Amino acid sequence: MAKVSCPKCGSKRMKLHVPQTSIWKCEKCGYQGPVFIEDGNIEKQLKESKKMEKLQKKMLRGR
Ligand SMILES: [Zn+2]
């Protein structure tokens, strides 16, 4: 799991609020929004999320 911390209060108690859009919610201060993921590999993560998007679209079409 990637380490995610709140950009507002720095809390690590973050929950993925909307998985498809990578909107996170902070359980401590209530911040909702995109979060910088401390992984050092943003490009790879972007590629992966795009792959997931395509997969989800395919799955929706398959019905
Ligand atoms: Zn916070």
What is the 5 CA–ligand 1 centroid distance (Å)?
A: 8
Cα dihedral value 42, 45, 51, 52, nearest 10: -130
CATH top-level class for 3-61?
mainly beta
- Which pLDDT does position 42 carry in this prediction? 56
Look at residue 2 and tell me whether its pLDDT is greater than 70: no
Q: Using CA atoms, how far apart are residues 61 and 63, in angstroms rounded to an integer?
A: 5
- Which pLDDT does position 38 carry in this prediction? 60
pTM of the model: 0.51
Find all residues with CB under 8 Å of 39, minimum gap 6, and list them. 2, 3, 45
What is the 27 CA–ligand 1 centroid distance (Å)?
A: 7
What is the 32 CA–ligand 1 centroid distance (Å)?
A: 8
What is the 25 CA–ligand 1 centroid distance (Å)?
A: 8
Distance, C-alpha 12 to centroid of its chain: 14
What is the 7 CA–ligand 1 centroid distance (Å)?
A: 7
- pLDDT digits over 19-59, tens only? 788 889 999 999 998 886 665 665 776 787 888 889 888 88
Please calculate the CA angle 59-25-30 and round it to the nearest 5 degrees. Answer: 155
**Residue holding tokens 């919610």?**
25
- Which pLDDT does position 19 carry in this prediction? 78
Q: Where are the domains of the chain?
A: 3-61
- Which pLDDT does position 25 carry in this prediction? 92
